[in-house]
Structure 1
Amino acid sequence: MRSIAILLLCTIVTVTSFAQTTTVKKLDATFAQLYKTNRFNGTVLYAENGKVLYKKAFGVTDYRTNQPLTTQSSFNLASVTKQFICMSILMLQEKGLLQIDDDVKKYIPELPYTNITIRNLMTHTSGIPEYFDIFQRYRGTLDTLTNEMMIQQFVQYKPALDFETGTKWNYCNTNYVLLASIIERLSKESIKNFISKHITEPLGMKDTYVYTDIMPAVPANHVYGFSEENGKRVVNDLTNMDGVVGDGNLYSSVEDLFKWDQSLYTEKLVKKTTLEQAFKPVHLKNDSTYPYGFGWFIDKENERYTHTGGWAGFRNIICRDVKNKHTLIVLSSGDNTLGIQAAKAIFHNDTVNIPATFLITNVKLIDGTGTPARNAAVRIEDNTILAVGDLKPFDGETVIDGNGKVLAPGFIDSHSHLEGSLSKYPEAIAALNQGITTIVAGQDGESDPVDSIKAEFEKVPAAINVATYTGHTTIREMVMGADNLGRPASSAELEKMKILLNAELQKGSLGLSSGLEYEGAFYSNRDEVIQLAKTTAEQKGRYISHIRSEDITMSDAVDEIINIGREAKLPVQISHIKIALKDDWGSAADLLAQLQHARAQGIDITADCYPYEFWNSTLRVLFPKKDFTSIEGANFAVDHLFDPEGSVLVRFAADTTYKGKTIAAVAKLRNETPAQTLLYLIAASEAFEKTHPGVDAETVMGKSMTDADVIDFLSWQHTNICSDGALGGHPRAYGAFTRVLGNYVRDKKIMSLETAINKMTALSAEHVGIKDRGIVAAGYYADLVLFDPATVKDNAGINDPKALSDGIVKVWVNGVLVYEDKQSTKKYPGVFIKR
């Protein structure tokens, strides 16, 4: 392609000194840059006061032949065709053959709709549905749609109107296929011949013609559409719907369209008073207007009018400033829209934004899908992945050498508690040092409102993305009061909770989270949660739960979440799946078999898991019966629920000297049994919190799992990786993901690197309902991590929980480098991700 660049840059017209105007300079610089970076293939024409100041062709008519474009090359105008159809209708009106307020049934009597006028079709206010889905549903394998076939499908299947005619504006291509059919029926000639005879020949438009997929001969100056897929061009031209005419399939050149534009200042085709109707906004039945006329968008009445056209591999625009008599026409093949966006900006004298690109080369790409690693390069444009494959740098493009390391999607932490610390630590080093680019907040039933999170992002931008669930406990507190949660909600309270939940879901919450083992939700009943889950399902949200028990009544808790999935008919996920009862250690396979059985019954149940044998929570979870003063309960906890020798106090506000010590060590200091110490620690913390409202007085890292069970849970095909991390004492906040990559993948080899990456990326995105992230593919957001699989490992531990991981080389969030060589770049491109 580059070897013929000189041939492809065709004539530039410099008529007068106007060619050096700002507009011309912007046009030439902009489209040259887009062409040089394979983001534009087309022609451009700009004129003022009837004089062409700039016209230029960039690229080829057909990438398979490399024949250069000229400004006389004819492109499929797509929806720019519509203004020619409207002109044809107005011409028929002037001949007295129709009136635009006639009922369409007068000309297409078989159409199964009444009280739709020709004007309604011209202004997209008919309410008739699009023909695309109808044709695809009922077509034969070898069918190519024609205007008459489309009408017959509407006659046969009678699809309902999308809205009452005249009450709304909704762009619809069916309207214009019907208009073309009316023209053919009235004129007794094909739309092809009508336009040629009455418009293109009188105006001297030699490059303009109707062409469809069922016509035998391809015109000589015909341009073929294409798409750019991972740096390679593929044909994207006419389809099995392109036997129709009216909504598209008129071809023209920029030179001919300029003749068309100039004719609209004259009465060569219709009278001035007739044409004026085309540029008036449509009036709706509620007396409001919409800025669309007859085949023209009205940017500013009596001044600026535009229309775009996009179909298959064509993207076009015509812009008219009738007040100053300026015209800009851009026709392009290829499905990149940057040329059209740039044209609009230049024409309206706005800032032109051509996003820069950069190329990451020399990497082993593990794309998140679970497929084997492969050699590839990745091109980033702005915040998006533009292409993946065997890519060569553009002239002047920034190139980043990956030095043979692994490039993967940024990791998605499906269960995180870091969101609350971002306002103070927006660099998010805890997440980035282990390759996490998106965290999912609102866990264990506690959440902040969506509006608050978004407002905080605007106030203090962060380096990572955040999504959130809405917490069950949070909305319980809002409705029932924080001191009145020791019972199920009443029917009236539940209805209020549903309203609050629904509002959050509509604002972008991923779904409902619960922390049923904690006291704020422990006393809710199953029906309360099921009813809220059903509200979530109505909005196509999801349910994630710290289930009601992870120890003595875990079987019942698992049955509950399965039942929620069954009754509410929504995906359900077990948060940080674990077996915390010593008596049941080694039974992970049995639990997974139970979950797999539920999946076989059609219940979409999944899990996330962090790679540690100890959890981080309050001492109170060690008392399943909530008997916090019972020595029997304390003894049960010591004997069955945790190991005092391996469980460390992360926080103990009542006596800070105990921080960092094991429960066994504190008991020894106090000359007590571990059970007696448990009762003391809880009582002292409760007293401290009464005198220090809002303070969490104690946190413990509890050793109560086995590595064998952790391995089984990590290995289940429906488990994704999470951290459950917060800026506290547990090392998972800084090391969960790198621990999986180093300890469990490289050292213990419990799964392939590709599988592990899938569990950190695409599978996580699927489980929480995040779209367009988690895979390295064109069109996905550019959240990426470059790491060394030979050295990646976690360094955070109980004694140093904030030690940074090794092996994470670079991290990008939304195309911006945010972490490099164990340091923040002080860039904050993170966004709030809505469901």
Structure 2
Amino acid sequence: MQNDLYRIDGVFGDGNLYSSANDLLKWTEAWKREFLKANNNLMEAFQPTVLNNGKLSNYGFGFQIDTLNIQYSHTGSWVGFYNYMATNLKSKETIILLTNNSNPSASRAIQQWFNHKTVEFQKSTLITNVRIIDGTGLPERKGSLRIKGNKIVEMGLLNPYIGEEVIDGQDNILAPGFIDTHSHHEGRLEENLEAIPVLSQGITTICIGQDGFSQPMDSLKSRYAQHKPAINLLSYTGHASLRIKQMGLRGLFRTASDKEVEGMKMDLENELKKGSFGISTGLEYEEGFFSNKNEVISLAQIAAKYKARYMSHIRSEDIQIENAIDEIIHIGAQVNLPVQISHIKIAQKSKWGNAPQIIQQLQAARQKGVKISADIYPYTYWQSTLRVLFPNRDYDNPAAAEFAVNQLFDPSESILLRFAPNKDYVGKTISQIAELRKSTDAETLQRLVADASLFEENNPDYSGSIEGIMGKAMSEEDLKTFLSWPFTNVCSDGGFTGHPRGRGAFPKIISNYVRNQPLLTLPTAIYKMTGLCAENLGLTDRGILASGNFADMVLFNPAKIQDKATITQPQALSEGILQVWVNGISVYKDGKSTHQYPGIVITRN
């Protein structure tokens, strides 16, 4: 007998024994005859086994046992090969399958046969004539990609199967679906299940539960099981949401008691068990601002226990930014878990140009073993509340208001997006409102904050956001420096309304920083929108085009992809995305929804 043993998998028997389907059928018939004689020794191979821990296993000595159908089976596979043997004693049927295909879909067909159902093989789709950028940062390569079900099954120079759907990519770029690591699109997703503003950017997965605010995992799973979206979601658990549950809305402006922290830890642990990817904090917002380091570290330790992650809108992006970055580095070092800075920026005019020093601070931490990363959106405008313009929460201090208008934002370019006390102010800059009120920019800022606080006090049942501003506050050079850092991935930090980043962030990376003012190569830009995003979130089967990964993909023309949303026209959709697939299903094509909704809530476990 020829010795075909290749020791590539540590198995010493393979390659030395040859069998045909007929041989295996004869062998199966032989043990069936012995089994029917009730041979006690043989019976042990076909009985459920009690494990050392007392649990019952349906794997006997060599066979998988399906007691319901009185069926015994075993599978095997090796490089490019798959086999399946099954016997149903009730129907007296035996099926032997040997195939030179490593895809186990044939075994599913056999189960359909045994259950007297129509045998259906999954249809495949071949996307050909494309330039593949796989999300790893490697250069593009010509080729084809095959989808079967919700997975990528093959890549390379492929020929179509008979009857297979073939899509001609017309020499466009095929890349992994973009992953938005910091999104607020979920706020209106239930009424926009087609998610056109998301898909028109090429985004297939959004990460929600940001800035310390989240929904319970059970609620998310239930909602999107009933109302399936076109995109995938995953969620962090919000620190502020944990605080609100334990301390109440009116009790947040203090440090938490030991008992309250213990309650938060229990709630976080429950959410992590249900699939949350980690804990998010919004320490610059009032709901999280009054927490101390010990409270945050205690919760981060729970995340680390479950091998989850920590993501933070850090405590300061302006006057205390260096200390705020030290805080997140300290958390990552002490707790030993991956930490990510949300929407990294420098939002203080006198500190513009300090991005290289902050990168040095982050690099030094990484060299010491801290797994720290960041995400960023490609705009010099932020969107938040008026209150963040008072870093010390001294809203009645005229000097603080003067500092804000001189250092923390440009009142002549910063637009009020929401203002419940006077909706006529919405869409106007702070300077325009000041002119209407015949006051200075600083006085107007103080008055707006006071009016919003009074409205909140007089309307305790008001459910919407009382105020919000789009603030011009960052420098383009700092943005480029942060974007260039190898551990910064792209995000939108956007929603369906408001800031143009919610409809244009990802295309803008390519149109502006690859094509118009080259800062990144296209493979690097794609990596920062896919593979690096997946790595920074802890996703293992998305973000890279590879056999076995989920078929979340985007087809686009790199010469025509373009963001269209602007500060004055924030609702304009991006262009240049030709087709998008989510879990193997085409959901967006030629600027329109396909009205397919294969999106899921992705869980960590």
The normalised TM-score by structure 2 is 0.95
Q: Secondary structure at the match of 2:249?
A: coil
**568, 577, 581: which is aligned to 1:808?**
577
In the alignment, does 2:210 pair up with 1:443?
yes
**608, 628, 636: which is aligned to 2:375?**
608
In structure 2, the partner of 1:491 is 258
Partner Cα separation in structure 2 for residue 458 and residue 344 of structure 1: 26
Q: Which amino acid aligns with 2:258?
A: S
In structure 1, the partner of 2:199 is 432
Alignment of 1:548-697 (within 5 A): 548-690=315-457, 691=459, 692-697=461-466
Partner Cα separation in structure 2 for residue 267 and residue 297 of structure 1: 18
- CA RMSD across the alignment: 2.2
Q: How many residues align?
A: 602
8 Å Cα contact 1:581/1:640 also seen in 2: yes
In structure 2, the partner of 1:295 is 62
Structure 1: which 5+ residue stretches go unaligned? 1-216, 225-235
Q: Cα deviation per residue 1:53-88 (whole Å; 9 max; x = unaligned)?
A: xxxxxxxxxxxxxxxxxxxxxxxxxxxxxxxxxxxx
**Cα displacement (A) at 1:473:** 0.8
Alignment of 1:487-526 (within 5 A): 487-526=254-293
Q: Which amino acid aligns with 1:586?
A: G
In our comparison, the structure showing a higher alpha carbon Rg is 1
**Cα displacement (A) at 1:273:** 5.8
User: Kindly tell me: are residues 273 and 784 of structure 1, through their superposed partners in 2, closer, same or farther at Cα, counting changes over 3 Å?
Assistant: closer
Partner Cα separation in structure 1 for residue 509 and residue 51 of structure 2: 60
Q: Which amino acid aligns with 2:593?
A: S
In the alignment, does 2:553 pair up with 1:784?
yes
**Cα displacement (A) at 1:602:** 1.1
Partner Cα separation in structure 2 for residue 394 and residue 267 of structure 1: 43
Partner Cα separation in structure 2 for residue 316 and residue 450 of structure 1: 39
Q: Which amino acid aligns with 2:394?
A: D
In the alignment, does 2:190 pair up with 1:423?
yes
8 Å Cα contact 1:609/1:721 also seen in 2: yes
Q: Which amino acid aligns with 1:330?
A: L
Q: Secondary structure at the match of 1:483?
A: helix
In structure 1, the partner of 2:240 is 473
In the alignment, does 2:564 pair up with 1:795?
yes
**Cα displacement (A) at 1:423:** 0.9
Q: Which amino acid aligns with 1:636?
A: F
User: Kindly tell me: are residues 396 and 628 of structure 1, through their superposed partners in 2, closer, same or farther at Cα, counting changes over 3 Å?
Assistant: same
Partner Cα separation in structure 2 for residue 302 and residue 279 of structure 1: 13
User: Kindly tell me: are residues 381 and 265 of structure 1, through their superposed partners in 2, closer, same or farther at Cα, counting changes over 3 Å?
Assistant: closer
In structure 2, the partner of 1:774 is 543
**Cα displacement (A) at 1:334:** 4.0
Q: Which amino acid aligns with 1:513?
A: S
Partner Cα separation in structure 2 for residue 522 and residue 745 of structure 1: 37
Q: Cα deviation per residue 1:374-410 (whole Å; 9 max; x = unaligned)?
A: 2111111111111111111111211111122111111
In the alignment, does 2:331 pair up with 1:331?
no
Partner Cα separation in structure 2 for residue 596 and residue 274 of structure 1: 64
Answer with 303-312 or 563-572: which moved more.
303-312
Structure 2: which 5+ residue stretches go unaligned? none
User: Kindly tell me: are residues 544 and 351 of structure 1, through their superposed partners in 2, closer, same or farther at Cα, counting changes over 3 Å?
Assistant: farther
In structure 2, the partner of 1:765 is 534
8 Å Cα contact 2:35/2:43 also seen in 1: no
8 Å Cα contact 2:329/2:370 also seen in 1: yes
Alignment of 1:53-452 (within 5 A): 217-218=1-2, 239=8, 241-243=10-12, 251-266=18-33, 272=39, 275-283=42-50, 289-300=56-67, 303-452=70-219
Q: Cα deviation per residue 1:434-476 (whole Å; 9 max; x = unaligned)?
A: 1111100010000111111111111110011101111111111
8 Å Cα contact 1:463/1:829 also seen in 2: yes
8 Å Cα contact 2:2/2:16 also seen in 1: no
In the alignment, does 2:597 pair up with 1:828?
yes
In the alignment, does 2:517 pair up with 1:733?
no
In structure 2, the partner of 1:714 is 483
**Cα displacement (A) at 1:806:** 1.4
Q: Which amino acid aligns with 2:508?
A: R
Q: Cα deviation per residue 1:353-378 (whole Å; 9 max; x = unaligned)?
A: 42211111222211111111121111
Q: Which amino acid aligns with 1:780?
A: N
Q: Which amino acid aligns with 1:622?
A: L
In the alignment, does 2:320 pair up with 1:546?
no
Partner Cα separation in structure 2 for residue 239 and residue 327 of structure 1: 32
Q: Secondary structure at the match of 2:11?
A: coil
Partner Cα separation in structure 1 for residue 52 and residue 579 of structure 2: 57
**Cα displacement (A) at 1:279:** 3.5
Partner Cα separation in structure 2 for residue 238 and residue 334 of structure 1: 21
**Cα displacement (A) at 1:774:** 0.8
User: Kindly tell me: are residues 631 and 568 of structure 1, through their superposed partners in 2, closer, same or farther at Cα, counting changes over 3 Å?
Assistant: same
Q: Secondary structure at the match of 1:447?
A: coil
**Cα displacement (A) at 1:761:** 0.4
Answer with 552-561 or 303-312: which moved more.
303-312
Q: Which amino acid aligns with 2:482?
A: F
**Cα displacement (A) at 1:269:** 11
Partner Cα separation in structure 2 for residue 277 and residue 555 of structure 1: 67
Q: Cα deviation per residue 1:618-671 (whole Å; 9 max; x = unaligned)?
A: 001000111122222211111111100110011112221111111101101111
In the alignment, does 2:472 pair up with 1:703?
yes
Q: Which amino acid aligns with 2:217?
A: V
**Cα displacement (A) at 1:697:** 1.3
**Cα displacement (A) at 1:764:** 0.7
Q: Does 1 or 2 have the higher relative contact order (CA < 8 Å, sep 6+)?
A: 2
User: Kindly tell me: are residues 818 and 289 of structure 1, through their superposed partners in 2, closer, same or farther at Cα, counting changes over 3 Å?
Assistant: closer
Q: Secondary structure at the match of 1:422?
A: helix
Q: Which amino acid aligns with 1:817?
A: S
In structure 2, the partner of 1:197 is none
Q: Secondary structure at the match of 2:383?
A: strand
Q: Secondary structure at the match of 2:567?
A: coil
Q: Which amino acid aligns with 1:790?
A: A
The normalised TM-score by structure 1 is 0.69
Q: Cα deviation per residue 1:257-294 (whole Å; 9 max; x = unaligned)?
A: 22233334545997656644543434568987544444
**Cα displacement (A) at 1:309:** 3.0
**Cα displacement (A) at 1:576:** 0.4
Identity of aligned residues (%): 50
